Amino acid sequence: MQRTRLDQSPRRPDPHRAAPRTPAAVSVGTSWREMPWSLRILRAFLGVTFVYAGLQKFLDPGFLHAGSPTYIGTQLAGFARSTPAAPLMRVLEHVPWLVGVGVAVTELAVGIAVIAGIGLITASLIGLMINVVLWLSATWHVHPYFLGSDSIYAVAWLALILGAWQVGKARPTAHPSGRSRDPDAVARRAMLRGGLVAGTAIALGGVASALARPPNAASSGITVAGGSDRAPRDPARTAQPPRATGSPSPKATPSVQGHTIANLDSLRVGQAVGFTAPGVGPAALVRLADGNVVAYSRICTHAGCLVGYDAGAHLLVCPCHGAEFDPAHQADPTPGSPTSTPLQMIRVVVDAATGDVILPS
């Protein structure tokens, strides 16, 4: 049996044995120059887009505030409707503020890292995961599939990952002959660069959040009925001429029981008023070009944001992803909208005696 001598001196490295090889450090300029133009264009587009996406969330005053049209919590609830990522969305909607900040900072960090070439493949993998999750939730119901942006973003990230890997594989490597190329030093530099990316992302998010307008109760172009949710009457339009006898006009008795939303005298053609429907939530009452009134839920069937009303286009429009719904045609989505499901219709009745639009009880 062989015995190991405790006083045996350690073996010296074999000078003829190949030393470990580590990737040579690459500057930002070199990381761009060594790529073909096809990858440069793709890299620039994805990097700038993710920086913009992150900043947009911090600049949106309603993104982190419950009750606003673009609230992240409402979007998460919408993403959970009949999508493969529903279980994940139901977990995340319990911490909407944390999810909103986390997603925004991560998008900023990914965009900065891709542009600067810091951990390019790692950052691209994170970007790929973000768009895959969004594809399985936010744009899962977009038909046909090529209208959904997240699926093509996922393919774009995959192309960038493979291209960056091929470029890195062809890059010459160097022996760690000096301290600057020591593996530990390389790891420390990688950590420092990663920390720089994270710090820059957080700083940009903080600046954008500080520049954002204060949140308000605006409802994206829909006049919200105040008090009892009844729109104020216009005295000039509702005043009745005096009777010949000089006696006051008897007050009409409502023939429909329920909650009054508005009166036809105060809701002109092409206008909309917001109200809350029991069991439905935020809703919109719209007076159509033919004088009839219709009511729909304001919860977008794509991502759960609250739609507003574009009086010029006579459409209900989602502020998050641009979905448009035509109130004159059962709130069907217009061509090109990221959803094929119309808004939920709400039954309302016009009281012929008073002209009130009533939500039946």
Decide if 7 is inside a domain.
no
The tokens 């500080």 sit on which residue? 210
- The confidence score (pLDDT) of residue 235 equals 36
Contact 229, 278 (CB under 8 A): no
Q: Which of 288, 277, 289, 304 is nearest to 72 (CA)?
A: 304
What average pLDDT does this structure show over 162-177? Answer: 77
Decide if 273 is inside a domain.
yes
* One domain, residues 202 and 276: no
* One domain, residues 146 and 63: yes
Mean pLDDT of the chain: 80
Contact 109, 198 (CB under 8 A): yes
What average pLDDT does this structure show over 248-276? Answer: 76
Per-residue pLDDT tens digits for 326-361: 999 999 998 878 888 899 999 999 888 888 898 887
Decide if 277 is inside a domain.
yes
* One domain, residues 187 and 228: no
Per-residue pLDDT tens digits for 19-54: 455 455 678 888 999 999 999 999 999 999 999 999
Domain count across the chain:
2
Q: Count other C-beta atoms under 10 Å from residue 174's C-beta.
A: 13
* One domain, residues 201 and 228: no
Per-residue pLDDT tens digits for 278-288: 888 889 999 99
Model confidence at 99: pLDDT above 50: yes
* One domain, residues 204 and 262: no
* One domain, residues 230 and 343: yes
| Choice among 15-19, 29-33, 156-160, 201-205 with the minimum mean pLDDT | 15-19
Is the pTM above the cut of 0.85?
Answer: no
| Choice among 166-180, 201-215, 238-252, 307-321 with the minimum mean pLDDT | 238-252
Decide if 324 is inside a domain.
yes
Domain CATH number, residue 302: 2.102.10.10
* One domain, residues 47 and 188: yes
Decide if 243 is inside a domain.
no
* One domain, residues 149 and 265: no
* One domain, residues 158 and 293: no
Decide if 3 is inside a domain.
no
Tallying the residues shown for the chain, one arrives at: 361
Structural domain span for residue 259? 223-235+254-360
- The confidence score (pLDDT) of residue 331 equals 92
* One domain, residues 146 and 287: no
CA distance 159 to 138: 22
Decide if 127 is inside a domain.
yes
* One domain, residues 162 and 271: no
What average pLDDT does this structure show over 129-138? Answer: 93
* One domain, residues 60 and 203: yes
Model confidence at 229: pLDDT above 50: no
Instruction: Indicate the pLDDT class of residue 107, thresholds 50, 70 and 90.
Output: very high
Decide if 216 is inside a domain.
no
